[in-house]
């Protein structure tokens, strides 16, 4: 039973990797629906915190956070709608929504940096704004390429790691498969010198 328990994570990850490579649309639909629900819940929670709990935050920063969370709630609702009603186009829609979210985040972050600088802070983080814009532009121009490439990479990584985990668990739970040597760190005893 212990061997099976050690083997299961590797098997599950291998199956997930195969599913991503063989039926990416179905996997994306399920994962997207889960992520959309998470975005909705997280956005609503953060919006509540910004409005009710963090009332001491200065106006510009607070408004920026409210806008960012409302946009995340809207994106979550749109993604959930497409994941349920139009699963065949969800991958392209998802890439565009992520690109839009990156642009909105870049705009809000730039406004936050400006507000922090006006309050006397250093307002670091401009590099993040530039990266958000670059990745968003790339996603707008090459949505299918980016989506298929990312899915393939994730599928291959999950498959390889799953197989390695399964093989490693078989190797580590089989006591006869490991022959110790005199230099083997497993078989070396540690002695502390007493002074």
pLDDT of residue 148: 85
Q: How confident is the model at residue 157 (pLDDT cuts 50, 70, 90)?
A: very high
Per-residue pLDDT tens digits for 95-120:
888 899 899 888 988 888 888 888 87
Per the CB < 8 A criterion, the answer to whether 158 and 148 are in contact is no
Q: How confident is the model at residue 193 (pLDDT cuts 50, 70, 90)?
A: low
Per the CB < 8 A criterion, the answer to whether 44 and 73 are in contact is yes
CA distances (Å), origin 44, targets 33, 36, 56, 180 = 17, 12, 19, 56
* The model scores a pTM over 0.75: no
Q: What are phi and psi of 125, to 5 degrees?
A: 125, 5
| Separation of alpha carbons 156 and 142, rounded Å | 21
Q: How confident is the model at residue 91 (pLDDT cuts 50, 70, 90)?
A: confident
What average pLDDT does range 22-47 have in this prediction?
Answer: 85
pLDDT of residue 103: 92
Q: Which residue has better confidence, 89 or 157? A: 157
| Separation of alpha carbons 122 and 33, rounded Å | 39
| Separation of alpha carbons 137 and 79, rounded Å | 20
- The C-alpha angle with vertex 142 and arms to 145 and 108, in degrees rounded to 5, equals 125
Evaluate the CA torsion angle 77, 152, 99, 113 in order and state its sign. positive
């Amino acid at each position: 039973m212990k061997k099976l328990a050690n083997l299961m994570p590797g098997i599950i990850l291998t199956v997930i990797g195969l599913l991503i490579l063989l039926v990416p649309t179905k996997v994306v639909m399920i994962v997207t629906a889960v992520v959309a629900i998470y975005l909705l819940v997280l956005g609503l929670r953060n919006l509540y915190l910004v409005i009710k709990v963090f009332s001491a935050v200065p106006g510009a920063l607070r408004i920026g956070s409210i806008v960012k969370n409302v946009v995340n709630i809207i994106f979550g609702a749109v993604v959930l709608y497409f994941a349920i009603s139009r699963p065949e186009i969800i991958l392209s829609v998802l890439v565009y929504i992520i690109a839009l979210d990156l642009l909105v985040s870049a705009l809000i972050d730039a406004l936050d940096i400006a507000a922090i600088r006006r309050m006397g802070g250093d307002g670091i983080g401009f590099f993040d704004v530039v990266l958000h814009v670059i990745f968003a532009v790339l996603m707008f121009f090459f949505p299918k390429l980016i989506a298929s490439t990312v899915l393939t990479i994730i599928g291959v990584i999950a498959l390889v790691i799953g197989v390695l985990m399964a093989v490693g668990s078989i190797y580590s739970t089989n006591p006869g498969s490991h022959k110790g040597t005199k230099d083997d760190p497993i078989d070396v005893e540690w002695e502390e010198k007493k002074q």
